[in-house]
Structure 1
Amino acid sequence: MTTDRKALPPGGVISSLYARGLLDYLRTRGVDPDRLYGPARVAQLDAGRGHEEIPLAEWIAMFELAIAHCKDPSLPLKAGASLHVRHLGVLGHVLMNCETLGEVAAQLGRYIRLLGQIGQPEAIIKGDRVHFLWRWPYDTPAAPSVAQFMLGARAMFMRWLSDRPGLRYDAHLHFPRPVDVSAYEQVFGGALKFGQPDSKMVFPTTYMHLPVAHADDDLRRQVEARAQSMLQRLAGEPELLRSLKTVLSRNLANGRVALADSAGALALTPRTLQRRLEAFGQSYQRVLDEVRRHTAENLLRDPQVSLTQIAFLLGYTEQSTFHNAFRRWTQLSPGVYRKRQFAAAGGRPARRVRRRQRVR
């Protein structure tokens, strides 16, 4: 059940948090993501804090590599069902503090853009049943791996948020029935229908009235204000700048960050790219510095990544060049910045948490 390369969406981005969800799932299966995607790219994705976006086509290609390596066509479904709230960023905290699952569905639709350009969820009530659809927003055919991941995640989160592990859903999938449906039976628990017009979950309307366990009204106001701020930032930043930052983030480690490289990736001439950036009051070097600084600050929070490795991941051939650039950006050396981050966190480096796998 692979995706035709010609069918991959030419545009569109997704939050790097979702990519990290896939990486974490692979680790629970004993698979080293470095072997599939390369140590440099994995380090970049692990270091992200959720504000970065990667091309949607790259994320789909990551699934294809994982499926081929594990020989498991249902891997995206299992990865989606194993997500943790940390893989949703601020949106996860918004959902945790809703009053009911009905409000969860509404807030998911409101803030889904924080997780990328991945389609709009829609809850349609038909009699005593809710049809919770996932709509693919591109002209190309919807990728089966993305549908699996999205519905698997929603099935799991509805159970987790309501503290009702017994919730069951009928699942409608737009792709052909696979040979082995055992994972689908485990994740959804209800009737399975393949080859349908839309991918969706169908369940009783009573589910929408179930309360969210452990919601906190005070925390809710704080996290929703943050989500609104992030949404406004995404809406206010020109598409060209977002696309350029995505291209630069992807190419830092391989050193392909010259103006001509990025212009070619955006199907523009170097002069056209420069002119459009100038119209936004930006320069190519300023944007490159911003991406490098943001990436460096994230990597410096991980004590397992050396300064030499960080210099390499930023595309520098010499550690001294990275050192001088970072001091220019922050007026601090990378070492001092790292020590201050650890001190602010209580004197201990942040530890990466791995959660137990839910579905095999």
Structure 2
Amino acid sequence: MSKTDFIPSGFIETLQGYVRERGLPADALLVEMATALESPSVSAQQFCELLESVWQLDPVDALGIRLGLSGQPRQFGVVGYMVSSCGTLGQALARYHRYQGLLQGGLTSRAWLKENVLYMRWTQAVANTPLATEFSLAVFVSLCQSLVGRPITPLHAGLPFTRPADTGVYQALLGCPVEFDCSGIELAIPAHLLALPISSKDPYLLRLLEQQARALLNQPPRLEGGQATGAFFAQVQEQIVESMKNGDVSAETVAQALDCSLRTFYRQLSSAGYSYRGLLAHTRHTLARQYLADPALAQTDVALLLGYSEQSSFIRAFRSWTGMTPGEYRSHLPQSPVTGLSATSAGKTAS
């Protein structure tokens, strides 16, 4: 199983809770889970291994379904916050499918409407063990139920593994017929549920999350390395913005997401006269000015959007960029937000 696919680490909370509620003898396993939760993401392989470890301690039927049904939107990371800000379940599911790559790079899905039924089918290239596919199906159902604040009974569900001896537990847990040996994970729900409102809707936050990086991606950098170097620079810049959503913008994380060794990553930036630290600082500085121009965003919100775990770290960094605090900068800020990227100043090695 590949280690290159990652999922939000928040899903481990469901495993933690189950182990504790069942009183399972798993001190070492709980320590491993706690360590994994310190990072915003976990490899799909490690998550599958944790699932298997829980099953070894408590080999009950449909364990993945049981675990997934306790999932919460926040455990989906930035995608969870985004769909929670939508107005209806239909809008949320449209965003979910559009941004599913933030959940798993190897996740592909298809959704279609037919005769007042919404059909969905998805596959997971890495997290494809029976337990993992059970979990994925159930945690998606749990997400939908949490968003609308009421139980949702699917019309049909399907799983891509051999039919188990006892299928009744699956139907009892999901409340619908469940098929096996399917080509992917399948779910069908009544189409009228798409109109159900989401109580936590926040149109402003939804727009902000969707448009977070546009100002940085409008202008391609002009570098002396030719098109190949420019393309790599743009990929790095885009990945930095994506990594901000998970709160981990280390060079190691960005390089790994680009399937590049850390040594090669540094070498390619250096060959164009750029440093990663300088590029990250410029990216944050540019977005900070854009966000601070919006009075609806508190400074704590800006710090979080830029990937800072503490507001004090953001204030120190901003003072180093501008010579003033974010609050002082706001008091002198023009009405129109500053957008765009100055390619001639972004992240030069001198920084």
TM-score, normalization by structure 1: 0.59
- Bigger drift between 197-206 and 121-130 goes to 121-130
Aligned-partner residue type, residue 83 of structure 1: G
Number of equivalences: 261
Question: Which of 68, 87, 92 is the matching residue for 2:75?
Answer: 87
Q: Given the alignment, which residue of 229, 233, 241 partners 2:212?
A: 229
Alpha-carbon distance in structure 2 between the residues aligned to 1:75 and 1:32? 17
CA distance in 2: counterparts of 1:234 and 1:33, whole angstroms: 40
> Can you list the C-alpha shifts for 1:197-220, whole angstroms capped at 9, x where unaligned?
2211122222223x124243xx23
Instruction: List runs of 5+ in structure 1 lacking aligned partners.
Output: 1-7, 249-265, 288-293, 302-326, 332-360
What is the CA RMSD across the aligned residues, in angstroms? 4.1
Percent identity of equivalent pairs: 20
RCO greater where, 1 or 2, for CA within 8 Å and sep 6 or more? 1
- Return closer, same or farther for 1:207/1:129 CA change in 2, 3 Å cut-off: same
**1:51-90 mapped onto 2 (5 Å cutoff):** 52-90=40-78
**Does structure 1 residue 146 correspond to structure 2 residue 132?**
yes
Alignment of 1:225-304 (within 5 A): 225-226=208-209, 228-229=211-212, 236-237=238-239, 244-245=252-253, 272=264, 275-276=267-268, 278-279=270-271, 281-282=274-275
Contact 1:9/1:57 (8 A) holds in 2? yes
Between the aligned partners of 1:62 and 1:221, the Cα distance in structure 2 is 37
Please give the alpha-carbon distance, in whole angstroms, between the structure 2 residues aligned to 1:159 and 1:36: 29
Aligned 8 A contact 1:132 1:201 in 2: yes
Query: Does the 8 Å contact 1:20/1:45 carry over to 2?
Result: no
* Contact 2:121 2:187 survives alignment (8 Å): yes
CA contact (8 A) 1:91 1:227 kept: no
Cα separation, partners in 2 of 1:24 and 1:174, compared to 1, 3 Å = same
In structure 2, the residue matched to 1:42 is 33
Query: Residue 179 of structure 1: which of 165, 168, 179 is its match?
Result: 165
Question: 1 CA distance for matches of 2:175 and 2:168?
Answer: 10
What secondary structure sits across from 1:135 in the alignment?
Answer: strand
CA contact (8 A) 1:81 1:153 kept: yes
Unaligned runs of at least 5 residues, structure 2? 218-234, 244-248, 281-303, 318-351
Could you tell me how far apart the structure 2 residues matched to 1:167 and 1:175 are? 22
| Alignment partners' CA distance in 1, 2:152 and 2:263 | 59
SS in 2 for 1:68: helix
> 1:74 Cα shift?
2.0
* TM-score normalised per structure 2: 0.61
1:82 is displaced (CA, Å) by: 0.3
**Secondary structure of residue in 1 paired with 2:37:** helix
Over 3 Å counting, the alpha-carbon distance change for 1:115 and 1:29 in structure 2 is farther
CA–CA distance in structure 1, aligned partners of residues 269 and 66 of structure 2 = 42
Answer with 1 or 2: which has the greater Rg. Answer: 2
